[in-house]
Chains A and B, each alone.
Chain A
Amino acid sequence: MLVFVTSHKGGTGRSVTAANIAYRSALSGRPTCYLDYDFGSPTAGITFQIPDAVNGVEGAGPNNGGLHRYLRGEIPFPEQLDVWGSSERASLRQRPIGSGPLVLLPGQRNGSEFGFTNDIAKRCAELFLRLEEEFDLTLVDLSAGRSYASQMVLAATATPALRKVVARWLVFHRWTPQHVTAAADLAFEAGGILAMAKEYGHEPERLRESLRFIRTAVIDSRGPEVGHLDLAQQAFLRKCDTELSELARRRGVGRTTLLGAVPLDPLLQWREQLISDHDVQAKIANVKTVDAIVELTEKLFDETAWETV
C-alpha cells in the first residue's frame, strides 16, 4: 500500500507523525519503508536519528545518493537505509523481535526542490512499483502545500501499472480555524489534490474516498490536561472546540473524513523523534500519544476505516 502524507502548511507535525506511523507499522511486523519526498528540506534522517542522513545523504558517484539523484536519473537506485541497523539510538538499533524491516529512503543533501518531467514521473512510478513488492507499507512524505512532489506522485499513480495499487492520502493539519480551512482548501479547492488528480487522469471521487485527515498536536478540551486552566478558559476552549468541529464539518474535514488525531505531546513539542515504548515507560512521553499513533497505523490497514460514509 502507498500512503502519501501532505499538509497545507509547514510545521503541522506531518513528518514526525508519519515517521512514527512507519515505526509502529514496522513494529507490528509489517515490512515498511519511508520516503522523504520533502525535497526542499529532507530532514527525515533527524527523526530516525541516522547520523549519515541528517538533512539527506551526501552520496555521490554512479551508485550513491538520495531520492533526488535517482529521480533525475543520475543513479539506478536511491540509497535505502535500514533504520534498525543505522540509527544511533540504542533502542532502535536492536531490532525488536517480531518487527518487520524498517527502511528509510532519504533525500539528497542540498538537493533543493526541482521541477518535474515525464521522465521523472516514470522513474517515480517504477520506484513505487518496486517498493510495493517488497513492503506492506510505503509512506511518502510530500512537502507542504501544492508541491511538485504531489504532482509527481499523482502523475506516477495515474500510470496503468500503479492504478491497481492501493494508494491513500493523508492530509495533516493542526486543530485551529486557519489550519482546518487550509487543509480543506488543499484537499478540495481549486489547484488542490482532487483537482490536480483530475488533471492527471484520476477519478476525483475515487481519490476523495481514499483521502483522510489527521489532526495533530490536539489539546482535548475535555481532558485532564486542561484541568489546571481557569473555568472560564476551559469553557472558552470547549466552545472553540465545538465551533471548530462545526467548521470542519462544513468544510468536509469533519469526523467522517477523519482518520484520527494525535494529542499534543510534550516530547514531540521539544524534539522531532520516534517515540519508543521505553519513552512511555520512562514517562517522558504520553501513553495516549503512542496509543493514537498505533490506532492511526491500524486504521491505515483497516478497510472499514476507508469505507465511504
Chain B
Amino acid sequence: MRIQPRQEILDIWRATVRSCWEKGEWHWGGRSGSNSINDAEQLLTLLLPASKIPALSLDDPDRADDEVIEALNSLGGAIEIPRRLVTVMIDYFRRYTAEDGTPVFGGGGYLTPVEGGPELTEEQRSQDIVDSFAVSVTLTLATIGFVKVYRSATQRRELLAQLDELETMASIRLTAAMVGLLRSFSTFVFTSTDEYGRRLCDMVNQDELPRRELVAALREQLRDTMASLRSVVIGSGRVTEDLDNSDMLFECGWSWGIIAGAEEVPTSESIGRQREGSAENAPYLYFTVIAMDAIEDLNSERTRLLGLLNEEQQRLSRALQLRWELTRTYWATVATFGNRRRWPIEDIPWRTTDGDRTDYYTLQATSLAVKGLLAVGRGGDEELGRIAAVLVELAQRARVTRRATPGESALLVHTPGKRVTLNDDTSKPIMTWVVNEFSTVLLQRAITVAGLLSNARRRSELLELADEVWDHLVLRRIPDGRHRGLWDHAGGAFPGLAPRPEAPSWYLTARVVQALVNAGQLLWDRPFPRAARLSGYAQDLIDEAEYLFDRELMRGTFAGEAMQRSMRSIRASLRQAQLLVDERPGTAAALANTLLLLLNDVTTGQQKASEGI
C-alpha cells in the first residue's frame, strides 16, 4: 500500500487548523456554509482519527505524540490543544441546540431546491436529516470518549466543569440522534406486480426465472427477515400490511428524515421536543448506508470498552441493532440473489425501486452487501473477490482509474454529484441532496474489503486499487491558498470540470479522513494474511541450514574461541527463523538465506583448503 495514513492524516490536520483556526478562534463553515452536518464533519476531521487510532490520540497531554503536537501547533502546545478542542466542541453543541434544549439536526446549505423549484424555506433547511443523526452519533461518541480520558488527565476545576458540560450536551445529542434514527427507519411494502415490485424483480432476476418463481424464491430467502420485522414496534417502520401474502415484497432501510406520522419514542432522557416528521416512508440507499455505518459505531468494541453509552442509550442501541441486522440481511440477499450467472450487484448500474439508476448506488450497495455476506458466513475470498471486481469496474467506469474525455457524463458523479431527490409523504419531491462522495466511498470500500480478504495476493491487488483511487483524490486537493491540502478541487483530476473552489468541502474532507482511518486500522489491527506456500518454503530453507550447521558442528569446524561466536550467532538466528516461520514466513526465509550463505562460506573455505594439498 502506498498510502501512508499517518502522514496523510497529519498533513490534513495541518491543513485543517490552517483553514479553521485564525487569531485564536475557530471558524465554522465551508463550501456550503455552516450547518449541523458540515460543522460536525469539520470537527471529525480532527476527532475521528484521534479517537480511532491510538497513536494519534489528543485526549491526554502526557501521552500525545510529538509529531501530532507539532502538526497542531498553531492551536498551542500539548496542554493547550485539548483545551482548545474542548471549547470548540462546546461551541458546536451549543450552536446546534435550540433554546428549549432540543438538539437540532438541520441540513442547511447541504439541501438544494428541486430543479426549477422555488428556493427552500428556512423551515425546510432546518428539518432534521438522517445524515445529521448519523454524523452526530459518530461525533458524540468521539466526544464522550475524549472527555472520559481527558478528565483523568486534568485537575483544573474550571476545565473539569467544562468537561461535565460537554459530556452532558454530547450525551443528550447522542440520545436524540438515536431517537431520530429510530423515527426515520422505513419498511416499504409493495406487491410484486406494482411498479416497485416490477423494478425490484427486474433488478434481482439475473437468472431469468419466471416471475412467480422468482418472487417465491426471494420471499423464501427473506423469510427470517420478514418474521423479525414484526419486532419493529417503536419509532417508525412498523409493518401494517400483510407480509404473509405470497405476492408481497418489501424494502427496508432509512428514509432521509423523520418519517411523516412517526410516533414519538418514549425515553427517560431529556432530549426536548420530538419534532413531527415529513419524510416519505421509503428507504433511500444513501441514507441507509450512512445510518448503518453510524449504528456500527454504536456497537463497536471501543464504545463498549470505554462504556460510552448510558443505560437508556444501550436500550435504544439494541433497538437500532435490530433494524441494522434486518437491513443488512435484506440488502445482502437482494444484492447477491441467485448466483448462476451473476449477482444483481454485478449488473452495474444498480436500479432502485423508485426507478433511479446509477453506478453510485452500486457502490453503496456493495457496502451493505459486504456486511450481509459477513453476517451469514459467506464472507470468503470467493464472494468478497466478486465484490472487489465490482469495485474495480466502478473505478474504471467513473473514470477514476481510466482517462476521461471532457464532458463525459460519467464525470457528473464527481461534480456536481448525484442528485438525490427527497420526497414528502405523498412522494412529491421537495428538495434535493447532492452527493459527490463517490471516490472517497470507493476508497473506503476498497480498503475495508481488502482488510477482509485472507489471500495475500488478492488483498494487495485490491490495495492497488485503493492506491490508485488515492492518487486520484490527491489530485483533487485544493492546491494553494489558505485552504490548501483540503478537498475538493475536482478540476485537479478532471481539468476544466470545475473551477478552483473558494472554500473547502468538509463533507468530502471528512470522508477522506474516514478512509485514511480505515487504512490505518488495517495496518494497526489486522494481521497480515499468511501465504501458505511461503511458510513451507521458509521451513525448507531452515531445515537445510540446520542440517548444514549440525554437520559442521559434528565436524568440529566451530571449535576455538573465534568461531564460537559465529556459531552462537548462527544458532540464535536459526532459532529466530524457526519462531517466525508461521507469523512472518518471508522474514524467516530471509534469515535462513543469510545463514545458508554464511555456511556456504565455511564449506567453500574448507574446499579451497583441501585444493591446496
Residues of A whose CB lies within 8 Å of any CB of B are 222, 245-246, 249, 254-256, 304, 307-309
Contacts and interface: CB of A to CB of B under 8 A. Distances in A.
A180 to B, nearest CB: 13
8 contacts: A222-B66, A249-B62, A255-B61, A255-B62, A255-B78, A256-B78, A307-B156, A309-B79
A254 B62 contact: yes
Given A255-B78, A256-B78, A309 B63 contact: no
Contacts of B64: 255
A246 B64 CA distance: 11
Interface string B57-81: 0000111101000000000001110
A307 B77 CA distance: 13
Interface in B31-72: 61-64, 66
Interface of B: 61-64, 66, 78-80, 153-156
A245 B66 CA distance: 11
A256 B63 contact: no
Given A255-B78, A256-B78, A256-B79, A308 B62 contact: no
A249 B63 contact: yes
Contacts of B154: 308-309
Nearest to A252: B62
Contacts of A246: 63
Contacts of A222: 66
A307 B83 CA distance: 12
Q: Majority SS of interface residues in chain B?
A: loop
B84 to A, nearest CB: 13
Contacts of A304: 80
Contacts of A255: 61-62, 64, 78-79
A256 B69 CA distance: 13
Contacts of B79: 255-256, 307, 309
Contacts of A254: 62-63
A309 B153 CA distance: 8
A249 B78 CA distance: 14
A255 B78 CA distance: 8
A308 B156 contact: yes
A220 to B, nearest CB: 9
A90 B443 CA distance: 65
Given A255-B78, A256-B79, A308 B63 contact: no
Given A255-B78, A308-B156, A309-B154, 18 more contacts: A222-B66, A245-B62, A246-B63, A249-B63, A255-B62, A255-B79, A256-B61, A256-B62, A256-B78, A256-B79, A256-B153, A308-B154, A308-B155, A309-B61, A309-B79, A309-B153, A309-B155, A309-B156
Nearest to B78: A255
A222 B67 CA distance: 10
A222 to B, nearest CB: 8
B596 to A, nearest CB: 22
Contacts of A308: 154-156
Contacts of A245: 62-63
A31 B61 CA distance: 34
Nearest 10 Cβ contacts at the A-B interface: A254-B62, A249-B62, A255-B62, A308-B156, A256-B61, A256-B62, A255-B78, A309-B154, A309-B79, A308-B155
A254 B79 CA distance: 12
A245 B78 CA distance: 14
Contacts of A307: 79, 156
Contacts of B153: 256, 309
B78 to A, nearest CB: 5
B99 to A, nearest CB: 34
